[in-house]
A and B are shown apart, each in its own frame.
Chain A
Amino acid sequence: MDKATLTFTDVSITVNVPTGTRIIEMSEKVGSGITYGCREGECGTCMTHILEGAENLSEPTAFEIRVLEENLGGKDDRLACQCRVLGGAVKVRPA
């Protein structure tokens, strides 16, 4: 199984994750301030700021892009419940 690393800077922890892991699957477990609401990409509660490794995340769908726009997300923001870590290293914090 291919591996990647996902770092949550607000709790100073790096998790070795299988590729394909959604950020939200780990953020709650490690106690990060990235919290969730609907888990379906609609509410925008889990908006996450990508500090490093944005290129290692799955491409946003049209749906995620719309929700990010409506929630005034910046160019480095993603929804933790939508995007998957595809490899390499990704570093995040709550938006």
Chain B
Amino acid sequence: MSVPPFTIRPAAPRLEGPSGPVLVAPGVHWVGALDPGLRSFDVILKTANGTTYNSYAVRGSEGVAVIDTVKAEFADEFFARLEAVARYDEIRLIVLNHLEPDHTGAVPELLRRAPQAQVRLSPRGLPMLRALLKDEFELYDIKGVTTGQSVSLGDRSLQFYTTPFVHWPDTQCTWLARERVLFTCDLFGSHYCDGRLFNDLVGDFRFSFEYYFDRIMRPFRSFVAQAIDLIEPLDFGIIAPAHGPILRSHPRDYLTHTRRLISSRLASETGSEKTLLIFYVSAYGATAQLAQAIHDGAAESPEVRVSLFDLEGGEIAPFLDLIEEADGIALGTPTINGDAVRTIWEMLAALVDIETRGKLGAAFGSYGWSGEAVRLVENRLQGLKMRLPEPGLRIKLHPSAAELEEGRAFGRRLADHLTGRAAPREVDFAEIAAR
């Protein structure tokens, strides 16, 4: 049959991917799905050439294990590949390394087809699986597992490593020692779709690997460090993540590179000093005066390095690197139209991209009528899991000399909290309840 010259040809075969399962290691097949058309993942990151949902089937002498599944829309593709390597009655084990929907979309149907299978997942995944399966949860053999536990498939076994918060509470890794394959789910993943599947065959996905880390893993970098510490001693020959290329060529390089990504992006200069960053936006100079006073008060402590920034004079992205390394931040904003100003909200929104848990936070600002902004900023900082030992400082219009001294005292107290020298306070329930 002749083909008209203007016919749009389908995408290159390699991007359409393998039509069947793909051998990863002896007894281990990729049975996942390709999603080359995806352009936005979880609303939070772009996917210029799509992604993959990697699922794996591991055959042992006494049964088959399925490790993770795929997004629901791709279930047919997954089942077709799975059926090419195993019968449903052979499936002895289903491992769920992570319960996010892009990995569990086929789980309810897989369990209906293989109801005899044991389901093993981290204990933190249990409530999520209950929510996914509803009443069917009670029908199956579902148990939480932790580091050191394993399930035998006869001539090979799968061992579990609890690696929470990379990037959900439930995340874990699974180790197939006999074939030296480490299944890491989202850890070491990337949103990069190429049907050639293996890192030594696909196109250049380095950008995707780093971009994925920045958007998915960076807010949990201390947990990523703990996870790497746990799995680094394993003598793995293949890292099999749940998204993007399977890392069979120099897999340890990706672990080493991830260690670099979780380390400080700035040269360390502060030694043992605590660092406090003060950011402000000021409409008439009043909040700027307060910021300066707080800076001066905190700077009286030789053990605290204090920095002051007018947020209108900087871009937010570079500040994130700085905040990530800081021990505390104080944000100053006037109240305009009953709210904090847009630049402050943009900063607060961006903080979701870094780890803020446990840092000291504080808010301050000048106001004209009602002064809601400070409390709103405090609520957001608490939502970011920061500690706010000092109630926010609000000053009506321009600060007087006494109010500037109040600002300096506020700064001194923040410094004391950073250095662990804050005097213990005792307050009454009624005072706290009124806040």
Q: Which residues of A contact B (CB under 8 A)?
A: 5, 7, 10-18, 21, 26, 28-33, 35, 42-44, 67, 69-72, 94
Contact = CB atoms under 8 A, between A and B. Distances in A.
Interface in B380-435: 382-383, 385-391, 417, 422-429, 432-433, 435
Contacts of A28: 382
A16 B426 contact: yes
Contacts, number: 82
Dominant SS at the A interface? mixed
A31 B328 CA distance: 14
Nearest to A36: B382
A32 B387 CA distance: 5
B432 A30 contact: yes
A94 B425 contact: no
B427 A70 contact: no
A30 to B, nearest CB: 6
Given A13-B424, A72-B164, A31 B124 contact: no
Given A21-B429, A30-B427, A33-B387, 13 more contacts: A11-B387, A12-B425, A15-B427, A16-B427, A29-B435, A31-B382, A31-B388, A31-B390, A33-B358, A33-B385, A67-B127, A71-B124, A72-B124
B251 interface: no
Contacts of A12: 389, 417, 422-425
A35 B385 contact: yes
B387 A10 contact: yes
A71 B162 CA distance: 11
B296 interface: no
A24 B382 CA distance: 13
Contacts of B425: 12-14
Interface in B347-391: 357-358, 378, 382-383, 385-391
Interface size for chain B: under 10, 10 to 19, 20 to 34, or 35 or more residues?
Answer: 20 to 34
Contacts of B435: 29
B134 to A, nearest CB: 15
A29 B425 CA distance: 14
B154 interface: no
B144 interface: yes
A13 B429 contact: no
A26 B428 CA distance: 11
B429 A18 contact: yes
A17 B164 CA distance: 35
| From A17, A35, A42, A70, residue with most partner B Cβ within 10 Å | A70
B123 A72 contact: yes
| From A14, A26, A35, residue with most partner B Cβ within 10 Å | A35
Nearest to A71: B124
Nearest to A21: B429
Contacts of B424: 7, 12-14
Contacts of B432: 15, 26, 29-30
Contact of B123 (A14, A15, A71): A71
A31 B429 contact: no
A70 B389 CA distance: 30
A72 B427 contact: no
Contacts of B378: 31
Contacts of A43: 127
Given A15-B427, A33-B358, A70 B385 contact: no
| From A10, A11, A33, A69, residue with most partner B Cβ within 10 Å | A33
B159 interface: no
Contacts of B164: 72
B313 to A, nearest CB: 29
Contacts of A10: 358, 387, 389
B387 A70 contact: no
Contacts of B144: 70
B169 A71 contact: yes
A81 B65 CA distance: 39
Nearest to A94: B358
A61 B146 CA distance: 24
Contacts of B387: 10-11, 31-33, 94
